[in-house]
Each structure stands twice: as structure tokens, then as C-alpha cells.
Amino acid sequence: MACRRGALIVLEGVDRAGKTTQCKKLVQALQQSGQRAEMLRFPDRTTEIGQLINSYLEKKSDLEDHTIHLLFSANRWEQVPLIKEKLEQGVHLIVDRYAFSGVAFTSAKPGMSVDWCKFPDVGLPKPDLVLFLQLSPTEAARRGQFGVERYENTDFQKAVQARFQQLMRDRSVNWEVIDACRSVEDLHKEIKSRSKAAMDTAACQPIGELWK
Ligand code: NYM
């Protein structure tokens, strides 16, 4: 492959860390500088699987814990052909949550192990960079009321944060931790510069496989 593939960059963090705002700003900045960049988000609530997930998150339906976990994973796998195609075309993909949210949220539930939770996502396209927006759950709660969706309470978010910390010890993934307790613009500048470095490195490398 010529040195031109796009980079897969994921933003992770607890709810309210600012991931969606920062993903949008990064895509906009890249496009303004003449690069091809698109945003993806998981869950992608627009697909049939995504609608099942949406109904679960909105507490309109109840699903068994393993079952909903597998649906979140399937919702990523259904986008894999598109992800690979775009990266190979040289489009940078900026992704709001990925398999790490999948594992952190499910494994924060009683009786769900991190190892079991990782398995369905093994082999997904591996992100070239995972930026973890670090914000304490207490500070996140201060940013405004949590919504009414499932998982949106401080105790659960603390458990999720602990699982993220555990996942970040895995050096096979290129994690970078960023202090999210700053202004939107300061955070954006740092995210842009860290992403730029990852894009330069990714350009000449094949797409990796996650957790393999
Ligand atoms: N979530 C997200 C999961 O439980 N598993 C997953 O695999 C993913 C991608 O869905 N609280 C949870 C985290 C969030 C919720 O996310 C919806 P958002 O970014 O608010 O749409």
C-alpha cells in the first residue's frame, strides 16, 4: 500500500467528558486544512441493531447482559467493511467510542468479566490512537444533570472509570490520556496535535487487528 491510508482515531472516556464535541471539532479542523476526515460514533443507532440498542438504552426494552453486549459488538462489526474501505481510501476516521466503551460498560456490571467482554471485539480494526479524555465521575456529574438513559448515574460511572483504567494498562493499544478538565479550545488544540502525530505514523502501516 502506498503511504496514504487514513488513521483510525478513537475518543473514549466516561459520559460527559466532551468526546462528541471534540470529535466534531477535530473532523472540522481536518477538513478545513484540506484533509479527508469523517466521524463515526458507537453505538450507531441508525441501523436495525442500533435501534435495538437505542431501545435498551432508553429503557424501553430489557435485554439480558450478555445479549446486549453482543449487540453492541455486532453494531461495530457491521461497520467494519466501511471502516476498512474509508481508511484505505485515505480518509481519517474519528470515532466517538469503540470497543473500549463496550468492555468498560458491560464489565462494570456484576458477574461480567473483562476477558469475556473483550472476546467478541477481538480482530476489529485496531485504532492507531485511542485518546482517553480523563474526567472524574464527580466532575462529570458537576457538568450538569445526567440524562435518563441507562448507566447515567455517578456510581455506575465510577465502576466504568475503573474498568477503563484496567484496559489502559494493555500496552498493545496506543492509549494517550488527556486531562479533559479544561476549556473546549485548549482540549481541541492538544487533541489536534496528538492526532496529527498518529496520522503521520499510520500512513505507512497496515491496519492492525484489535486485541490479537
Ligand atoms: N455503551 C456504548 C455501551 O454500553 N457499550 C458500547 O459498546 C458502547 C459503544 O452506551 N452510556 C454505552 C455508553 C453510553 C451509551 O453512548 C450511549 P452515547 O455516546 O451517549 O450515545
Ligand 1 atom 16: residue of nearest CA = 43
Ligand 1 pocket, 101 CB below 6 A? yes
Ligand 1 pocket, 164 CB below 6 A? no
Q: What is the ipTM score, two decimals?
A: 0.99
**Among the atoms of ligand 1, which is closest to the Cα of residue 150?**
11
For the chain, what are the domain ranges? Answer: 8-210
How far apart, in whole angstroms, are the C-alpha atoms of residue 187 and residue 54? Answer: 29
Q: What angle do CA 113, 208, 199 make, to 5 degrees?
A: 115
Summarize pLDDT for 74-92 with one digit per residue, the tens. Answer: 999 999 999 999 999 999 9
Model's pTM, two decimal places?
0.97
Question: Looking up cell 487533541, which residue turns up?
Answer: 191
Ligand 1 pocket, 15 CB below 6 A? yes
**Side-chain half-sphere CA neighbours of 199 within 13 A:** 20
How sure is the predictor about 15, in pLDDT bands with cuts at 50, 70 and 90?
Answer: confident
Residues facing 95 on adjacent strands = 10, 40
State which H helix or E strand residue 28 sits in: helix 19-32
Q: How far is the CA of 42 from the centre of ligand 1 (A)?
A: 7
Q: Determine contact, residues 6/94, Cβ cutoff 8 Å.
A: no
- State which amino acid sits at residue 78: E
DSSP assigned state of 133: E
- Superfamily in which the 8-210 domain is placed by CATH: P-loop containing nucleotide triphosphate hydrolases (3.40.50.300)
Cα Dmax for the chain: 48
Ligand 1 pocket, 146 CB below 6 A? no
Summarize pLDDT for 38-56 with one digit per residue, the tens. Answer: 999 999 999 999 999 999 9
Ligand 1 atom 20: residue of nearest CA = 15
Ligand 1 pocket, 72 CB below 6 A? yes
